[in-house]
A and B are shown apart, each in its own frame.
Chain A
Amino acid sequence: MSIGQFRIFFHPTKSRVVPPIATMAANLGRICGSKLLGTSGVVGFQQAKQLSTARAWTNGQKKLIASVGAVAGGLGALLFALESSVEASGTEVHPPAMPWSHRGIISSLDHQSIRRGYEVYKQVCSACHSMRYIAYRNLVGVSHTEAEAKAEAEEIMVRDGPDDTGNYYTRPGKLSDYFPSPYPNEEAARAANNGAYPPDLSYIVSARKGGEDYVFSLLTGYYDAPAGVVLRDGQYFNPYFPGGAISMSQVLYNEVIEYSDGTPPTTSQLAKDVATFLKWTSEPEHDDRKQLTIKAFGILAFLGVIAYYIKRHKWSTLKSRKIVFTPKDK
């Protein structure tokens, strides 16, 4: 038995959103609540309850969902608490965040600094630390021209072979050769350093908590051991090093080397430059990544505008329609 008739009117202007007029809102209000098709954007608790699919859940499902939520929340809180407690325990000092010029979202590395950092690595660090995964060709177009990188490579002697007669020989380095290691293997490195192994520096900034801040703070953070700290022979006190006792002595001092570009070689300048260099060796894709950030945000903003327009366009007919109920007998 029919008691009346629904009629739906669409506003003639399809591509624009027209807010519902008062009489239309009144009619809608009788059917499904005045705010449902409104433009206020706020859905009240009652409306949310009407729209929710949770009404169809059984009691058992509700209890299951509630316990899953409680367990997940509890685990999250536990993990957060554990992480915080790890931050607070331990005796090492956490490195402060330095104002690196590459810190910004689209800031590139300072390539002049990378070049100076290579000089520091070559003249100071490479005496004990290897850099097995960096080749001379990697320097080209980053800190050195091709001719300069070739000249750098030719300074080292590389064991190569076998030749036509089956013998091994040494030759000057080429662009494709990797940086030479100071020790032939880990055992030799430990034997020469009181049992401590100088780590390979290729990816050290990614491999240490605190990254380049840690490297900088460690290199500039040598102090006399406070009372109560016992150091063995060949150990030095550095509060940034976990445990405090480090087997590397302080190596960077004012004017320990001379920069070819004339920059005053103070301790902090040397540490900053070598930390920038190590940042580059750890993340050689750094500059490309920052450049891609610009492109990604640009494209996403562009697509976001289009998506917003299409949403408004598709919803314009829904938002501008009028639903009228006419009872059969008045």
Chain B
Amino acid sequence: MKAIYNTLFKRTSTYAVGIMASVFFFERAFEVGSTTLFESVNKGKLWKDIKGKYE
């Protein structure tokens, strides 16, 4: 906890960089996670599941 505070949160510059970096990883994880959930719930019904038959 102390290490995180000293390296990231203490200075505004590192704090801002930390926010930007974590936003990138959070957005990627959240986007991929929710898309995966949607596609697994609807497996077999989506166009990406049936387009193989027509290409």
Contacts of B55 on A, CB cut-off 8 Å? 145
A101 to B45: give the CA distance in the assembly, Å: 9
Contacts of B51 on A, CB cut-off 8 Å? 145
A143 to B38: give the CA distance in the assembly, Å: 19
How many Å from the CB of A304 to the closest CB on chain B? Answer: 15
Decide yes or no whether A110 CB sits under 8 A from chain B. yes
Decide yes or no whether B25 CB sits under 8 A from chain A. no
A136 to B35: give the CA distance in the assembly, Å: 27
Contact A291 B35, beta carbon cutoff 8 Å: yes
The residue on A at minimum CB distance from B33 is A298
A105 to B38: give the CA distance in the assembly, Å: 11
Contact A108 B42, beta carbon cutoff 8 Å: yes
Decide yes or no whether B5 CB sits under 8 A from chain A. no
Contact A298 B50, beta carbon cutoff 8 Å: no
Contact B54 A108, beta carbon cutoff 8 Å: no
Contact B34 A291, beta carbon cutoff 8 Å: yes
CB contacts under 8 Å to B, within A110-164, are 110-112, 115, 141-145, 148
Contact A109 B45, beta carbon cutoff 8 Å: yes
Decide yes or no whether B24 CB sits under 8 A from chain A. no
Per DSSP, are chain B's interface residues mostly helix, strand or loop, or mixed? helix
A101 to B41: give the CA distance in the assembly, Å: 11
- Report if A106-B45 is in contact (Cβ < 8 Å); known contacts: A145-B51, A145-B54, A148-B54: no
A143 to B37: give the CA distance in the assembly, Å: 22
- Report if A108-B30 is in contact (Cβ < 8 Å); known contacts: A145-B54, A291-B35, A294-B37: no
The residue on B at minimum CB distance from A297 is B34
Contact A108 B38, beta carbon cutoff 8 Å: yes
Contacts of A110 on B, CB cut-off 8 Å? 45
Q: Which of A106, A143, A298 contacts B30 (CB 8 A)?
A: A298
Decide yes or no whether B46 CB sits under 8 A from chain A. yes
How many Å from the CB of A151 to the closest CB on chain B? Answer: 11
A102 to B45: give the CA distance in the assembly, Å: 9
The residue on A at minimum CB distance from B38 is A291
Contact B47 A141, beta carbon cutoff 8 Å: yes
Contact A111 B47, beta carbon cutoff 8 Å: yes
The residue on A at minimum CB distance from B49 is A111
Decide yes or no whether A290 CB sits under 8 A from chain B. yes
Contact with A along B16-33 (1 / 0, CB 8 A): 000000000000001101
Decide yes or no whether A49 CB sits under 8 A from chain B. no
Contacts of B34 on A, CB cut-off 8 Å? 291, 294-295, 298
The residue on A at minimum CB distance from B31 is A295
Contact A111 B50, beta carbon cutoff 8 Å: yes
How many Å from the CB of A203 to the closest CB on chain B? Answer: 22
How many Å from the CB of B18 to the closest CB on chain A? Answer: 16
Contacts of B35 on A, CB cut-off 8 Å? 291
Q: Which of B30, B50, B54 contacts A295 (CB 8 A)?
A: B30
Decide yes or no whether A39 CB sits under 8 A from chain B. no
The 5 closest A-B pairs by CB, nearest first: A108-B42, A294-B34, A110-B45, A111-B47, A291-B38
Q: Could you list 28 examples of A-B contacts with CB < 8 Å?
A: A106-B37, A106-B38, A106-B41, A107-B41, A107-B45, A108-B45, A108-B46, A109-B45, A111-B46, A111-B47, A111-B49, A111-B50, A112-B45, A115-B50, A142-B47, A144-B54, A145-B54, A148-B54, A261-B53, A287-B46, A290-B38, A291-B34, A291-B38, A294-B34, A294-B37, A295-B30, A295-B31, A298-B33
**Residues of A with Cβ closer than 8 Å to B?**
101-102, 106-112, 115, 141-145, 148, 261, 287, 290-291, 294-295, 298-299
